[in-house]
Structure 1
């Protein structure tokens, strides 16, 4: 077993919450950077948003090692068209095939089980029903494990439980929680140090976390940058 990465930088390429000077729409995309790799997790709804924001944030997405698609909804993969235009043959790990990605010049890789994708980066493996299969990313840090989710259709509590079983206590859970119940939030709060509800989580979930777990709440929006481990 490796010691885990020593640092992780998370840049929110797009979230439903806007920031001045950047483009914004309904969608989700984050760039993950360690000393060993750069990974794009999901790619928003529109290519122009990803292209504009990456350039204004000073990010060259042609330099990423691979991409990760959480599930097959358009607000998570639409921006991959831009990636195909600047990085032909880019591998995109996903739980089920989306043919249009191939037409954009990308290389879809189907993940059908829990798997280590690169050193210290794991897929939970597909979860959920036959109608929507979704996987999440778990990163092993040196004293800080991170869970990144797309929309949490299978349930944020179920995904977090899977991640906890894989690597143990989670330092940060970030992404779309899909309008979770208070019970689900209470559960993930027990197994994590920081919680960052974004995208489809909803105001009710954000307000509940802020109210009951203010010491754990981490606010993010389009353009936010997190340097991990968090203090």
Structure 2
């Protein structure tokens, strides 16, 4: 288990040049000593998703700003190049002081804004969005799910354009503490058969061409005194697989909040019942289901977990979760 002590410029610039690499995660999450650090102040604000309130642009995509104990991280960058760029100032959010980005996986609805955001924000601050944390496998070649010839991983074309701006990619293969109490999961072991992906694509791994299960997918876990807060882009690896990894590698604590896309929009009742039951066992306190969660799926999970309208919302552009205050759904999803 690795730890990055704060976002010190020297440490991360060296790390960004070399990349963090390790062996492929085991099939089940090993136990490890818990960190004693806890996040004291936390706010997560959605910057890209389908539903929007009085301000902002909606799209099939996801992005969120995480503000924790003085650290600011952009989690995913939306689909269209300028969605987050336009939404942020409408919401009173200045992204020019954000140096670090997390990309949950290679899909364009999570990576599409990266290059545009970096280029535009760097005009104000050369360090803006200059470091991008990714999971091992995000740069692997894909065979298109549609069967068309050519490269199926559109993010490969964005890589040189981003690096040409002076930005660095930091590749992770295991859980890492980005700053005290904030953990990046690294690629997530598939312990339970949560098949939250199309099953049509193929990925070229070091072991050969296999089904593309989005092996690079990672999530962010923030450890607070009240419990764990999960931020995820699509949960292709499964929200339960993700949370079980977090509870094994960070701390076996209740899940205070789960925020992001959970790819349950076409899940059947059996899948939703199992997922809701597991979340209830983990004592889920708040749920903000945005992007690919599905509105009906979100409402069913609300019932299954015993949550209420105030503690379980459809995530919209500008909606937020704040430690000590809970969810702010804005008017459209209240």
State the TM-score, normalizing by the size of structure 1: 0.91
Deviations 1:104-134 (A, max 9, x none): 2231111111111222211111126862120
Contact 2:189 2:241 (C-alpha < 8 Å) held by counterparts: no
How far 1:186 sits from its partner (Å)? Answer: 1.8
Deviations 1:60-82 (A, max 9, x none): 11101311010010000101122
Distance 1:177 1:186 in 2: 15
How far 1:143 sits from its partner (Å)? Answer: 2.7
Distance 2:314 2:294 in 1: 13
What is the root-mean-square deviation in Å for CA atoms of aligned residues? 1.9
**2:307 — aligned with what?**
214
**Residue 102 (structure 2) pairs with residue 57 (structure 1):** no
Contact 1:3 1:142 (C-alpha < 8 Å) held by counterparts: no
- Counting only pairs closer than 5 Å after superposition, residues 1-231 of structure 1 correspond to structure 2 as 1-85=35-119, 86-87=121-122, 90-95=130-135, 96-97=138-139, 98-99=155-156, 100-104=158-162, 105=165, 106-127=167-188, 131=212, 132-133=214-215, 134-165=217-248, 166-167=250-251, 168-179=253-264, 180=267, 181-182=271-272, 183-191=274-282, 192-212=284-304, 213-215=306-308, 216-230=311-325
How far 1:230 sits from its partner (Å)? Answer: 4.1
Larger CA Rg, structure 1 vs 2: 2
Is the deviation greater in 15-24 or in 40-49?
A: 15-24
Which secondary structure state, in structure 2, belongs to the residue aligned with residue 127 of structure 1? coil
Distance 2:320 2:239 in 1: 23
Distance 1:24 1:70 in 2: 19
Distance 1:26 1:69 in 2: 16
Distance 1:155 1:103 in 2: 31
Is the deviation greater in 122-131 or in 59-68?
A: 122-131
Contact 2:37 2:180 (C-alpha < 8 Å) held by counterparts: no
Structure 1 stretches of 4+ with a deviation exceeding 3 A read none
Contact 1:157 1:185 (C-alpha < 8 Å) held by counterparts: no
Distance 1:219 1:29 in 2: 15
Which secondary structure state, in structure 1, belongs to the residue aligned with residue 227 of structure 2? coil
Contact 1:62 1:83 (C-alpha < 8 Å) held by counterparts: no
Contact 1:171 1:194 (C-alpha < 8 Å) held by counterparts: yes
Distance 2:131 2:62 in 1: 19
How far 1:211 sits from its partner (Å)? Answer: 2.9
Instruction: Structure 1: state its 5+ residue gaps.
Output: none
Which secondary structure state, in structure 1, belongs to the residue aligned with residue 226 of structure 2? coil
Which secondary structure state, in structure 2, belongs to the residue aligned with residue 209 of structure 1? helix
Instruction: Structure 2: state its 5+ residue gaps.
Output: 1-34, 140-154, 191-202, 204-211, 327-334
Contact 1:11 1:30 (C-alpha < 8 Å) held by counterparts: yes
